[in-house]
A = this chain, B = another copy of it.
């Protein structure tokens, strides 16, 4: 419908107006957009294989190797052998990786000044409204980790 288009264009316009700020926030941590996407997928306790990372990032396997190399050089992630399949390498966040990931999430999630400056009434209306948006993964995905999950598919 036409209303959906209006809503989407407003959201897109507002995001584009602040896009530069989010890019800068990531760069300030010395991370590239690719690193950012990788960190969102990784955790200390949920090992991911290289193949899973490549799939999640929708990139080539060789590119995943390259990206994980860079993250490993910075000490943010660690490659580990797979318990049963010696072809597979799994990747987990290091303690420093956890810290940087949290810094990244904090920086990205900080609202723009012009939004903070809005009336309380407007903010309440906005908050009620955005909760009507279709379900989507929370941007600060706190690693949904079911208790019993095998290490790697």
Contacts and interface: CB of A to CB of B under 8 A. Distances in A.
Nearest to A129: B129
A140 interface: yes
Contact of A127 (B3, B22, B135): B3
Interface residues of A, number: 50
A111 interface: yes
A43 B81 CA distance: 55
A128 B129 contact: yes
A5 B111 contact: yes
Interface in A1-16: 1, 3-16
A147 interface: no
Given A8-B109, A58-B20, A110-B5, A132 B136 contact: no
B126 A12 contact: no
B118 A4 contact: yes
A15 B12 contact: yes
A73 interface: no
A86 interface: no
A139 to B, nearest CB: 4
A108 to B, nearest CB: 7
A30 interface: no
A12 B108 contact: yes
A136 B13 contact: yes
A28 interface: no
6 contacts: A1-B120, A1-B123, A8-B112, A11-B11, A13-B139, A122-B132
